[in-house]
């Protein structure tokens, strides 16, 4: 299989959640909240994650607690085919999960890649940050660490994901069908105390090669946060997001004075510079500044994000941007 064919496919699993999420049509996606906390997440299923994160903050939890608990909502939901239990497997039928957390107060983080056998990789990622001298653990090492930390192994292939895999296998008995879908749940929270944290969780691409890792668990690619500037998370084709160090780029442009929306436009434009207007390349970012301004942007296809400020949560649609200039 040619590498190009292998990569250039995308699907927006989150769109299935639109009806229940109460989506608002597109408006300018750059805004400033007048009330803290502010929480932003990718995709309509980010709404449940935001509501959970808000509850954690309202109960006295930190921004890091909030994003960890927030993204766990999708990890537990078998109806979401791109995250946690429910995530579609790799081409061998194994669900390999990637997740990361990053704390903008300490610039510390933790991540797991290609973790099998645990439905909440984000919890393991946080333990990597807190209970190991490392930033990232992968594969069998991540699995052994999860066991050592007291997590119980569980079935991670949901009935729906198993059925989808069987169908795919029938169509592609050589297991060389193109990977599909990469709708990461990424979340950034700005607490009332001014702390910013970010988390990402994903099963990566369905039918990927075993061992493939995208942007989501890589600090600076799928997520980044710095209390003195803001935070950003990504979703979409990890290979392309990683090539521009997407989330770090957005935060650094904000540090230089760009609004979240301007910074995101620039990062997406960098991806488009490599890819032209190829509509098969789907990527999106959401970002928050330390002052509560937020932005979102996408290329390739429509994108939806969930935003919470104060007690109000809504899902907003963003149309894909074209290459500038």
Answer for the pair 253, 205: CB distance below 8 angstroms, yes or no: no
CB burial of residue 150 (10 Å; 0-12, 13-18, 19+)? exposed
The span of 31-39, 119-127, 201-209, 255-263 binding ligand GLY (CB under 6 A) equals 201-209
By C-beta, is 94 or 147 nearer to ligand GLY?
Answer: 94
Answer for the pair 301, 320: CB distance below 8 angstroms, yes or no: yes
In the bound complex, what is the minimum distance in angstroms from residue 12's beta carbon to ligand GLY? 12
By C-beta, is 4 or 24 nearer to ligand GLY?
Answer: 4
In the bound complex, what is the minimum distance in angstroms from residue 182's beta carbon to ligand GLY? 4
In the bound complex, what is the minimum distance in angstroms from residue 312's beta carbon to ligand GLY? 28
Residue of the chain from 50, 81, 184, 201 that contacts ligand GLY (CB under 6 A): 184
Answer for the pair 145, 137: CB distance below 8 angstroms, yes or no: yes
Of 166, 193, 13, 11, the C-alpha closest to 103 is 193
Active site residue 32: no
By C-beta, is 200 or 307 nearer to ligand GLY?
Answer: 200
Please identify which residue in the block is written with the tokens 């400033």. 32
Q: Of 73, 116, 184, 313, which is the active-site residue?
A: 184
The span of 59-67, 106-114, 198-206, 307-315 binding ligand GLY (CB under 6 A) equals 198-206
Map residues 202-231 to x or -, x wherever contact with ligand GLY holds by CB under 6 A.
x-xx--------xxx---------------
CB burial of residue 223 (10 Å; 0-12, 13-18, 19+)? buried
Distance CA 199, CA 201 (A): 7
In the bound complex, what is the minimum distance in angstroms from residue 165's beta carbon to ligand GLY? 17
3-state class (DSSP) for residue 60: coil
The angle at the Cα of 156, spanning 153 to 161, to the nearest 5 degrees, equals: 170
Number of residues that bind ligand GLY (CB under 6 A): 12
The torsion defined by the Cα of 99, 8, 319 and 258, in degrees rounded to 10, comes to: 60
Of 122, 219, 132, 104, the C-alpha closest to 112 is 122
By C-beta, is 104 or 181 nearer to ligand GLY?
Answer: 181
In the bound complex, what is the minimum distance in angstroms from residue 252's beta carbon to ligand GLY? 20
Please identify which residue in the block is written with the tokens 């954690």. 56
In the bound complex, what is the minimum distance in angstroms from residue 79's beta carbon to ligand GLY? 18
Distance CA 226, CA 133 (A): 21
By C-beta, is 42 or 195 nearer to ligand GLY?
Answer: 42
Distance CA 11, CA 120 (A): 23
By C-beta, is 29 or 216 nearer to ligand GLY?
Answer: 216
Distance CA 139, CA 124 (A): 12
For the segment 229-268, give every residue that binds ligand GLY (CB under 6 A).
Answer: 235-238
Residue 182 touches ligand GLY, criterion: CB under 6 A: yes
CB burial of residue 296 (10 Å; 0-12, 13-18, 19+)? buried
For the segment 98-117, give every residue that binds ligand GLY (CB under 6 A).
Answer: none
For the segment 122-141, give every residue that binds ligand GLY (CB under 6 A).
Answer: none
Catalogue the active-site residues: 184
- Positions touching ligand GLY (CB under 6 A) are 182, 184, 202, 204-205, 214-216, 235-238
């Amino acid at each position: 299989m040619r590498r190009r064919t292998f990569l250039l496919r995308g699907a927006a699993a989150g769109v299935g959640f639109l009806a229940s999420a109460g989506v608002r049509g597109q408006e300018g996606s750059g805004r400033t909240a007048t009330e803290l906390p502010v929480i932003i997440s990718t995709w309509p299923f980010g709404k449940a994650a935001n509501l959970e994160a808000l509850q954690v903050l309202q109960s006295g939890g930190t921004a890091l607690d909030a994003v960890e608990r927030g993204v766990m909502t999708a990890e537990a939901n078998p109806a979401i085919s791109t995250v946690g239990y429910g995530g579609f497997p790799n081409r061998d039928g194994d669900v390999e999960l990637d997740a990361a957390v990053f704390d903008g107060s300490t610039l510390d983080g933790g991540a797991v890649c290609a973790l099998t056998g645990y439905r909440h990789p984000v919890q393991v990622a946080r333990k990597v940050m807190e209970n190991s001298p490392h930033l990232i653990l992968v594969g069998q090492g991540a699995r052994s660490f999860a066991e050592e930390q007291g997590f119980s192994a569980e079935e991670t292939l949901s009935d729906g994901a198993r059925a989808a895999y069987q169908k795919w296998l029938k169509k592609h008995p050589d297991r060389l069908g193109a990977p599909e879908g990469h709708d990461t749940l990424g979340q950034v929270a700005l607490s009332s105390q001014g702390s910013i944290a970010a988390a990402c969780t994903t099963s990566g691409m369905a039918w990927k090669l075993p061992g493939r890792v995208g942007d989501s668990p890589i600090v600076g690619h799928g997520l980044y946060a710095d209390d003195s500037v803001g935070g950003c998370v990504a979703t979409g084709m990890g290979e392309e997001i990683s090539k521009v160090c997407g989330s770090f780029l957005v935060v650094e442009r904000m540090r230089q004075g760009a609004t979240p929306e301007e910074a995101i436009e620039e990062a997406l434009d960098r991806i488009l510079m490599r890819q032209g207007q190829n509509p098969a390349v789907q990527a999106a970012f959401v970002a928050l500044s330390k002052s509560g301004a937020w932005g979102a942007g996408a290329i390739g296809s429509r994108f939806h994000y969930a935003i919470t400020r104060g007690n109000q949560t809504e899902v907003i649609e963003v149309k894909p941007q074209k290459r500038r200039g």
